[in-house]
Structure 1
Amino acid sequence: MTLGANIMNDFGNTLSRKRAELIKKYELDVESLPTKEEIDNQTRINALDKLKQQKQEAWSTWNLYPAHQKIQFDFSKWKPDMQEDSENARELGKKAYLLSKRMKNETLNVLFVGAPGTGKTSLALAIAKELDKHILFISTAELAALFDTDLRNSPDIKQKLRNVENAMIGIDVLIIDDLGTEGSMRFKNFGVTEKMQHLMYRVANGRFNFEKNKVARTTLITTNNTDEELNNMYDPKIISRLIPKKQEQRIAFNNMKDVRGMG
Structure 2
Amino acid sequence: MENVTKLFNQATIQKVVAARGIDTTKLPTKEELDHQTIDWANAGVIANRKRYYYHMSVWSGGVPLRFSFNDWQVDKQPNQAKARELGNQAFKLARQLETNQFNVALAGGPGVGKTSLALAIMYQLMGVGQTAMFVSTAELLRLVNEKYEAPDVRQRLLYVLKDMQNVDVL
Per the TM superposition, whether the score is higher than 0.5 is: yes
In structure 1, runs of 5+ residues without a counterpart are 1-9, 175-263
Q: Is the 8 A contact 1:65 1:137 kept in 2?
A: yes
Q: C-alpha distance in 2, partners of 1:13/1:138?
A: 53
- Shift, 1:167, TM fit: 0.9
Structure number having the greater helix percentage: 2
Is contact 1:135-1:173 (8 Å) kept?
yes
Distance 1:168 1:140 in 2: 12
- When normalised by structure 2's length, the TM-score is 0.79
Percent identical:
31
8 Å CA contact retained: 1:56, 1:135: yes
Q: Name 1:152's counterpart in structure 2.
A: 148
What number of residue pairs does the alignment pair up? 162
Instruction: Report how far residue 128 of structure 1 moved.
Output: 1.5
Partner of 2:40: 46
Return the offset for 1:30.
5.8
Counterparts of 1:1-263 in structure 2, within 5 Å, are 11=2, 14=5, 21-28=15-22, 35-36=28-29, 39-132=33-126, 133-149=130-146, 152-174=148-170
Deviations 1:144-183 (A, max 9, x none): 112323x525432322221111011111111xxxxxxxxx
Kindly report structure 1 stretches of 4+ aligned residues shifted beyond 6 Å: none
Q: Which runs of 5+ in 2 are unaligned?
A: none
Deviation at 1:106, TM superposition (A): 0.7
**Partner Cα separation in structure 1 for residue 14 and residue 155 of structure 2:** 60
Would the alpha carbon gap of residues 45 and 11 (structure 1) be closer, same or farther in structure 2, given more than 3 Å must change?
same
| Superposition TM-score, scaled by structure 1 size | 0.53
Provide the aligned C-alpha RMSD in A. Answer: 2.7
CA deviation string 1:103-145 (max 9, x = no partner): 1111111111111122111111111122221111111111111
Q: Deviations over 1:35-71 (max 9, x none)?
A: 3355444433332232222223332343210111110
